[in-house]
Structure 1
């Protein structure tokens, strides 16, 4: 890692890399290596954020963002004290690191740090900008999303959108995407906004959230025909025309069907035997990490963790307007199929059904179950969303929460360059997209990183 990070005093461009949940700086080694292969130390100075390693990522986006902000400010001061002069800034976030980076950008902007820098690139690899809740309604939303949020401490509550951030009454994800917030104004200062989103086998963050999208055309890849970006075939899809409906397939024969099931059988048996063990281990670990995280956050809030928190508790708004363990979690998180907004004719028949629960809207342990009036409002909202967005791009609109629709609208105004990625050779595409480790089958991630470094990164 040391061979690719750092830089010389001649470098005027600082690029900061921020890892994700359960991560550590080594996860960003391939990202740093790809960037260094294109830009020498006297052109780009590379900083890999270190303060949020391991279980520290449980402590929430706010704590993580404050740590990264401080780390960037400290690095800028060190470079300046040695005679360097950084004039440009780029930030890269992977997975949860994309959200942590956005929080840090808001603080850097509010503290005036960005006023003296030319903001170049903000890049996200598989970052869940809309959270990680599965688009579900009713009891399934309550079971898999609200309960699932309790297993990842504060970060989990924020990723599932059930927190109330400070005195805003909103989830932190909603505040991050509020057009009047420091986070959006800071992010808007960057010249280029790029994201890379896995279209399949991402068990941690599926396409709709990493691609900032109301739809997911990739739920059944046998029904679409992929169009790859010229020169980057088989890995990166053409953002302007990623897929089209596939020609009707011939009916599957019985022998082919039996063969398919035979291939899946070892995997099914493994899930049956090991997932219960993994779930128990995960829940026990979650309880332990929740206690530890609470202690760390308490120290952080009291200023005893090496950061003067008061320095970072700036006004969030531009205007005064307040509008194995990992595998077990990922298997549970990815086991649920997505649901869609109902059509007008379908929703009419739902008026007499039991009221549903607002998708992802539960904010306190005491008020997660909607009453009848709230249920009717939700159905009305779904009908309105369905009429407006139901067949965007020819695909049905997912059953997202209202704050997620608002976040999509606000974020899309920044003009993202969105690259769908199809990792074929490994089922853990969330790790493969950045070659998180030197592992067979992750080679396609090197194609992604090379595309980013050579085609997207503005030096």
Structure 2
């Protein structure tokens, strides 16, 4: 890893890499290696954030963002002290790291750090910008999303949108996408904002949240014709025209042998469901309780300044006016098994956690705009609002189809050196060659 990170004091471009939940800097090794293969140390200086490694990612987006902000400030100061001169900055987030990076960008913006830098690239790989709340309606939504939110400590509550951030009364996911916040203003400073989203088999962060889309045209890939980017066929979809109608198929009745083979192959899955998964869930819940307790202790240390960060320096005003005034994996399988639900013209179940008039107005408008051939998912009002705000900023969105593994979340950044993850290298190559601004 060390052979790819760091750089020469001649470099004027700092690129920061932020890993995801349960992650560590090694998870970003292939990203760093791909950048380094394209740009030498004299061109790009690489910083892989490390203060949020392992169980520290349980401590929430705010805490993680403050740690990353501090790391960036320390690195900039270190380079300057040694005679370097960083003039440009790019920030890359993977999974939860995309949200942590967006929080850090808001702080860097509010503290004036970005005033002296040219903001080049913000890139997110499989980042749940709308949280991980499953698009379900009614009591099942309350049960599933409520239970999931309480097994990942503060990060879980924030990802499922059941938190109330500081005195805003809103989930942090909503605050990050508030058009008057430092987070949106900071993100707007970047010349290019790019995201890569798995269209299938991502059981950690599904397409609608990583692709900022209130519909999901990829629920049945047999019913559509997929269009790929030239030179990156079978992996990177055309962002302008990703799918079209599939040609009609001749449906044949399966033979008795084929049916028997299909059921035989399901035996390991049935055994897992009946034997191994219950044991694993119990172990996971016990570990979740332990990690939640440990995380709460770390957060108290962080808040009191005993963790090496003076948090008062990072508790800046979150909001801006026209003139800027602020200067300062157990639930994965369960999640993938749920069928996403859609808004209906006759829905009268309320705003799913938002009983405000604005929430009802948002849902009413989305119901009206929903099309029978591409229905709108049953998202929460704050998720619809986040899509609208972030789309106005302008994101270059690349749908990704990973074929070789049944769980594509790790493969999209080639998180480990595995042959089955090679399609992730195609994604990284596309990013550094076609998207990365030097």
Superposition TM-score tier, normalisation by shorter sequence: over 0.9
Question: Does residue 1:117 correspond to 2:117, yes or no?
Answer: yes
- Matched residue, 1:339: 341
1:413 alignment partner, SS class: helix
Change (3 A) 1:378 1:13: closer
Gaps of 5+ in 1: 363-373
Alpha-carbon separation, structure 1, partners of 2:359 and 2:295: 34
2:265 alignment partner, SS class: helix
Equivalent in 378, 389, 401 of residue 422 of structure 1:
401
Alpha-carbon separation, structure 1, partners of 2:259 and 2:169: 51
Q: Deviations over 1:261-311 (max 9, x none)?
A: 433332333233211111111110110011000000000001111000000
Moved more, 251-260 or 89-98: 251-260
Gaps of 5+ in 2: none
TM score, norm. by length of structure 1: 0.91
1:131 alignment partner, SS class: coil
- Matched residue, 1:61: 61
2:266 alignment partner, SS class: helix
Q: 2:92 touches 2:101 (CA, 8 Å); kept in 1?
A: yes
Q: Deviations over 1:192-214 (max 9, x none)?
A: 00000000100000000000000
1:90 alignment partner, SS class: strand
Q: 2:362 touches 2:384 (CA, 8 Å); kept in 1?
A: no
1:172-251 counterparts in 2 under 5 A? 172-251=172-251
Q: Deviations over 1:89-134 (max 9, x none)?
A: 0000000000000000000000000000000000000000000011
Alpha-carbon separation, structure 1, partners of 2:432 and 2:361: 46
Alpha-carbon separation, structure 2, partners of 1:96 and 1:300: 20
Moved more, 437-446 or 12-21: 437-446
Question: Does residue 1:135 correspond to 2:144, yes or no?
Answer: no
Change (3 A) 1:261 1:240: farther
Q: Deviations over 1:150-208 (max 9, x none)?
A: 00000000000010000000000000000000000000000000000000100000000
- Matched residue, 2:253: 253
Q: Deviations over 1:124-147 (max 9, x none)?
A: 000000000110010110111012
Alpha-carbon separation, structure 2, partners of 1:376 and 1:156: 27
Equivalent in 376, 381, 396 of residue 402 of structure 1:
381
Change (3 A) 1:383 1:317: closer
- Matched residue, 1:387: 368
Alpha-carbon separation, structure 1, partners of 2:136 and 2:374: 17
TM score, norm. by length of structure 2: 0.95
- Matched residue, 2:315: 313
Q: Deviations over 1:73-100 (max 9, x none)?
A: 0000000000000000000000000000
Equivalent in 431, 436, 445 of residue 410 of structure 2:
431
- Matched residue, 1:452: 431
